[in-house]
Chain A
């Protein structure tokens, strides 16, 4: 469960602002699960009744003080003072308040971990510009609809932001802070939109279903458990081993449905020196193409290819005893496993308890071109009836022996962020669904009926009536998720394995922890404070937005 603060405060205000009818609907049957998500918002609704802010009852100064003091004291010491402290601390080095470095830490955090020196000026210029841009945007958002802000937003900030985002993506990987900012940008773009869309779809679909409450409970449940629990759960889903991770079990299953599974991964020819004195054909591995007969073979002389490097388990049950004297029209031979555990057979000879390898693709090659293709039968025999003369190379293509497909590296550096976002969606879709469902339930039936009577199709009703009416709720959900996503920490901390994966999936909040407290980053609280300030600046627009809303409401 994440902090409900932003969620409900935003929702609550939005409702009051827009006269959103959600509150009346929150208690309706379908939104019983509104419980955790909607309740905070709905509970605060009565303030509408006395919009001017309660006028005071009489109360002695001492009494007032006693009521207020504990909260104010805690807020001042543990929240307000830290903001100032962190801002100041970010101007001093890791040593402490003894060494003033100015904006050095803000430069430092953008400095390349990889290649110090050359590109640094560019790096921190972009970094510093980023901080400034965030500040300007925050100020613009805070001052509201003042004309310069509106103009500035479109004229200056939009292209600037676009350029900076582009810059971040170019410089990504240069320093962990850039990687973190890039990932935060990805999160903000993808996660809130995905969760809101999914929540809307679920809310609409469950409207007409009898057991919608059960469905909502199921989807909403992940909100109650910790990010750690959700993280562990998804770590298991994404496990690389297809026998443990269900994601890869599905991936391998799908892959093997469309592509034949590799029959004999890792098999190779028995080394030629072990074949001396036998009539087996030496087999060499040639790069890229697979296994080939080391010498030219001709029709009439059976080609006996002795393979090893395979556990007998891999030999299918259908395999019969290898054909000791393969016969067949044209060029023919046998491919068998020249090995039986626990019995000392003769190397290079087809012993009576050795199995043929069925289903191997065999190619006949002449002058570097494949002239015919066949497959071995149950006893490992193959033949090319059409090839009755000439000399050939027999090739067993690499596809027979490639390592088995082991699925997708979900938590590897390239996919980790996407995989974590999926787990985030799993957690938060219920929140969006419940709030949006409450909004839908509150839409006046008359509006929908009127549209239907006018001949609108269901889709048109949805698009032109439903969506505009729930838009305020959608905005609230979206904004709430955006703020939440900016501060995302636990999932990124828990799900990807430490090392390259976590480094490639890192976010600002995680970097802040790692640099200040983590085992890998040492304890540079100067840079840590700078990162905390960056995180704070990112949410400043939301803060000013909240305050502005509140003031407007009060006046």
Chain B
């Protein structure tokens, strides 16, 4: 790729008009191998090589922190305290034996026997799955109404929704704690779910409404002609057609809730704390004892990373579908 994209610039790099060349030279130029560009090509190949090396270094630099934490999660804490993960990795590479480098999954085994960690991982699921489903459902309904239904004050209402997109969640912490106390859900997963749903809605409604509005009018009218009720149209036409937008919204919302620390810290209690809050507390209790923290962090990362890798492809299809229409 680097070679081909360098071609055109090879020609233009030397602006002075070229002397008349023999026919075979012109032919070779047409084939994409201009004689005069040779020096330039070498330079650009070399440049391309440097770029590649640079990018490899950057990629390694980007992977390094996570990789280091992963290695730390495999080592007993006294090992981690005594030598760096790079030393252990080197030992592993040179000896090719996990035992020589003192790698094992013992930390994971012991952390999976820890009720608090496992319980809070489950809490994370209990919070993020409903919060995601609810946001998608509720916002899809509202977005459909904003896009295709006529009602007084529609534009004003939607402007308010647009305005609410950037409201910092800090504004809601104190009052909503109050509201949840009144409702009797403070300190439970329900409180966290409701808060995430409420603060996720403005963006969700905005995104879906903008997508739904692009659904061809004919399709909706045809469905109406066939005697479809609004709910049927919503279910049979809008939701399937809006699937790309809904899917990406769901994934955003899911990752956002799964990774949240602040909201859960304020609204959940000891029994309902998700993994982020528990890990944060463990950090305070055990300081930097990596044998607890590192595997815990890795466990909490598995799902987001899986979602990230699994849906990448799906995302692209959604994006394509969206932009082709």
B293 touches A232 (CB 8 A): yes
CA distance A512 to B262 in the complex (A): 11
User: Assuming the A-B contacts A34-B315, A456-B12, are A71 and B205 also in contact, with contact meaning beta carbons closer than 8 angstroms in the complex?
Assistant: yes
Interface status of B286 (Cβ within 8 A of chain A): no
Interface status of B25 (Cβ within 8 A of chain A): no
Report which of A222, A486, A550 forms a contact with B62, defined as CB distance below 8 A: A222
User: Assuming the A-B contacts A39-B318, A40-B207, are A46 and B213 also in contact, with contact meaning beta carbons closer than 8 angstroms in the complex?
Assistant: yes
CA distance A187 to B82 in the complex (A): 35
A79 touches B252 (CB 8 A): no
A244 touches B84 (CB 8 A): yes
Interface status of B147 (Cβ within 8 A of chain A): yes
| Chain B residues closer than 8 Å to A46, beta-carbon distance | 210-211, 213-215, 322, 325
Q: Of the 9-residue stretches B91-99, B100-108, B110-118, B195-203, which lies at the interface with chain A?
A: B195-203
Min Cβ gap A213→B in Å is 10
CA distance A57 to B213 in the complex (A): 12
Closest B residue to A75 using CB positions: B201
A225 touches B305 (CB 8 A): yes
A529 touches B179 (CB 8 A): no
User: Assuming the A-B contacts A32-B312, A36-B252, A44-B207, are A229 and B301 also in contact, with contact meaning beta carbons closer than 8 angstroms in the complex?
Assistant: yes
A50 touches B149 (CB 8 A): no
Range class of the B interface residue count? 35 or more
| Chain B residues closer than 8 Å to A74, beta-carbon distance | 138, 194, 197-198, 201
CA distance A550 to B207 in the complex (A): 13
Interface status of B186 (Cβ within 8 A of chain A): no
Closest A residue to B11 using CB positions: A452
Interface set, chain B 126-174, CB cutoff 8 A to A: 138-139, 141-142, 144-151, 155, 157, 159-174
| Chain A residues closer than 8 Å to B325, beta-carbon distance | 46, 49
Interface string of B36-56 (1 = CB under 8 A from A): 000000000000100110110
A225 touches B304 (CB 8 A): yes
Chain A interface residue count, Cβ-Cβ cutoff 8 angstroms: 131
A43 touches B81 (CB 8 A): no
Interface string of A217-245 (1 = CB under 8 A from B): 11101111111110011111101011110
Closest B residue to A489 using CB positions: B262
CA distance A483 to B166 in the complex (A): 8
B167 touches A227 (CB 8 A): no
Interface set, chain A 484-518, CB cutoff 8 A to B: 486-487, 489-490, 493-494, 498, 509, 512-513, 516-517
Interface status of B83 (Cβ within 8 A of chain A): yes
| Chain A residues closer than 8 Å to B26, beta-carbon distance | none
Interface string of B279-296 (1 = CB under 8 A from A): 110011000101001100
B141 touches A67 (CB 8 A): yes
A455 touches B261 (CB 8 A): no
CA distance A157 to B261 in the complex (A): 36
Interface status of B245 (Cβ within 8 A of chain A): yes
Report which of B11, B162, B220, B324 forms a contact with A546, defined as CB distance below 8 A: B162
Closest B residue to A232 using CB positions: B297
Report which of A32, A50, A493, A535 forms a contact with B170, defined as CB distance below 8 A: A535
A71 touches B201 (CB 8 A): yes
Interface status of A2 (Cβ within 8 A of chain B): yes
User: Assuming the A-B contacts A43-B244, A205-B55, A536-B167, are A57 and B68 also in contact, with contact meaning beta carbons closer than 8 angstroms in the complex?
Assistant: no
A6 touches B168 (CB 8 A): no
Report which of A44, A225, A456 forms a contact with B211, defined as CB distance below 8 A: A44
Closest B residue to A531 using CB positions: B170
CA distance A225 to B63 in the complex (A): 13
B262 touches A82 (CB 8 A): no
B64 touches A75 (CB 8 A): no
CA distance A34 to B319 in the complex (A): 9
CA distance A246 to B320 in the complex (A): 42
CA distance A64 to B175 in the complex (A): 29
Interface string of A21-44 (1 = CB under 8 A from B): 001101100001111101110111
| Chain B residues closer than 8 Å to A35, beta-carbon distance | 308, 311-312, 315-316
B68 touches A236 (CB 8 A): yes
| Chain B residues closer than 8 Å to A235, beta-carbon distance | 288
B82 touches A39 (CB 8 A): no
Interface status of A61 (Cβ within 8 A of chain B): yes
| Chain B residues closer than 8 Å to A483, beta-carbon distance | 166
Interface status of B266 (Cβ within 8 A of chain A): yes
| Chain B residues closer than 8 Å to A493, beta-carbon distance | 261-262, 280
User: Assuming the A-B contacts A4-B256, A63-B230, are A43 and B318 also in contact, with contact meaning beta carbons closer than 8 angstroms in the complex?
Assistant: yes
CA distance A529 to B171 in the complex (A): 7
Interface set, chain B 219-234, CB cutoff 8 A to A: 220-221, 224, 229-231, 233-234
A243 touches B82 (CB 8 A): yes
Closest A residue to B195 using CB positions: A78
User: Assuming the A-B contacts A35-B315, A208-B5, A543-B163, are A525 and B174 also in contact, with contact meaning beta carbons closer than 8 angstroms in the complex?
Assistant: yes
Min Cβ gap A317→B in Å is 19
Interface status of A341 (Cβ within 8 A of chain B): no
Min Cβ gap A71→B in Å is 4
User: Assuming the A-B contacts A59-B149, A80-B164, are A228 and B304 also in contact, with contact meaning beta carbons closer than 8 angstroms in the complex?
Assistant: no
Min Cβ gap B158→A in Å is 8
Min Cβ gap A420→B in Å is 13
Min Cβ gap B321→A in Å is 9
B203 touches A5 (CB 8 A): yes
A528 touches B142 (CB 8 A): no
Min Cβ gap A200→B in Å is 14
User: Assuming the A-B contacts A27-B316, A215-B59, A226-B301, are A43 and B171 also in contact, with contact meaning beta carbons closer than 8 angstroms in the complex?
Assistant: no
| Chain B residues closer than 8 Å to A59, beta-carbon distance | 148-150, 230
| Chain A residues closer than 8 Å to B311, beta-carbon distance | 35
Report which of A36, A219, A228, A489 forms a contact with B276, defined as CB distance below 8 A: A228
Min Cβ gap B275→A in Å is 9
| Chain B residues closer than 8 Å to A395, beta-carbon distance | none
Interface status of B19 (Cβ within 8 A of chain A): no
A208 touches B262 (CB 8 A): no
| Chain A residues closer than 8 Å to B173, beta-carbon distance | 512-513, 516-517, 532
| Chain A residues closer than 8 Å to B260, beta-carbon distance | 226
A226 touches B168 (CB 8 A): no
A75 touches B174 (CB 8 A): no
CA distance A267 to B230 in the complex (A): 86
Interface status of A81 (Cβ within 8 A of chain B): yes
Report which of B87, B255, B261, B293 forms a contact with A224, defined as CB distance below 8 A: B255
A202 touches B58 (CB 8 A): yes
Interface set, chain A 66-106, CB cutoff 8 A to B: 66-68, 70-72, 74-75, 77-83, 85-86, 89
Closest B residue to A218 using CB positions: B59
B51 touches A543 (CB 8 A): no
Interface status of A147 (Cβ within 8 A of chain B): no
CA distance A232 to B290 in the complex (A): 10
CA distance A4 to B255 in the complex (A): 10
Interface set, chain A 229-266, CB cutoff 8 A to B: 229, 232-237, 239, 241-244, 246, 249
CA distance A198 to B171 in the complex (A): 32
CA distance A5 to B204 in the complex (A): 8
What are 25 A-B residue pairs whose CB atoms fall within 8 Å in the complex?
Answer: A6-B165, A36-B308, A43-B318, A43-B322, A46-B215, A47-B210, A47-B214, A57-B149, A63-B229, A75-B198, A77-B179, A78-B179, A79-B167, A79-B198, A221-B66, A227-B261, A233-B66, A243-B84, A487-B169, A493-B280, A494-B280, A513-B265, A531-B170, A532-B174, A543-B167
Instruction: Apart from A39-B248, A244-B80, list 14 A-B contacts with CB within 8 A.
Output: A3-B203, A9-B165, A9-B203, A35-B308, A48-B214, A49-B214, A86-B171, A89-B174, A205-B55, A208-B51, A219-B62, A236-B290, A455-B12, A536-B170
